[in-house]
Amino acid sequence: MVRVATVLESWRSVRADTAQAVEDFPPSELDFRPAPEVMSFRELALHILQAGHGLTGLLLEGVENFATPDFRERVKERGALVAADADARALAAALRESVETRCQQLAQQPPEFFSHIVTRMDGQSVTRLEMLQFVKEHELSHRGQMFLYLRLKGRVPPTTRRRMAGRS
């Protein structure tokens, strides 16, 4: 059985590395994109922030169906925490603040909140806890892109730095 506290702590850890990646990226190059059709580094960070905050906001509001035509608009309404042109410091701070706020709010929910079934964007029925796990996995996917962008700029991602420091 997966425990809520474990999922929340894991999400905090993932988010800490996402925010650190933002701080590690060259500040004057936040709009870097390796190809025209992909999101820039800043857009990835904003997407992570807005999707995580918006989706968990909808969960906390009791939304049961995420497979609606206005789904993206409803997420956007709950996700604009910084300006689209925010600098690295503001973006990293918003990433940290958002996950802390949402984790505190989610931790206050009773166990039955997390076992309740909702419909995910793809129409799949999942528990709210599984939906929260999906939010974290979504962030991990985009964080992986951010780490690749860091590598393209000659920077070592925070997770690799930690692993390498443990070898000394």
Burial of 21 (0-12, 13-18, 19+ CB in 10 A): buried
Q: Which structural domains are found in the chain, ordered by start?
A: 4-167 (1.20.120.450)
> 75: pLDDT confidence band, cut at 50, 70 and 90?
confident
- Crossing angle for the helix pair 4-24 and 88-107, to the nearest 10 degrees: 180
Which backbone phi and psi does 119 adopt, to 5 degrees?
-105, 120
The confidence score (pLDDT) of residue 166 equals: 80
The confidence score (pLDDT) of residue 77 equals: 84
The confidence score (pLDDT) of residue 5 equals: 96
Give residue-wise pLDDT tens across range 34-73.
999 999 999 999 999 999 999 999 999 999 999 999 988 9
**What's at 69, amino acid-wise?**
P
> 143: pLDDT confidence band, cut at 50, 70 and 90?
very high
The confidence score (pLDDT) of residue 168 equals: 62
Give residue-wise pLDDT tens across range 144-160.
999 999 999 999 999 99
Burial of 49 (0-12, 13-18, 19+ CB in 10 A): buried
| CA dist list (Å): 68 to 4, 65, 71, 120, 127 | 26, 7, 5, 10, 18
Q: Give the span between the Cα atoms of 89 and 81, in whole angstroms.
A: 13
Tokens standing for residue 64: 């049961």
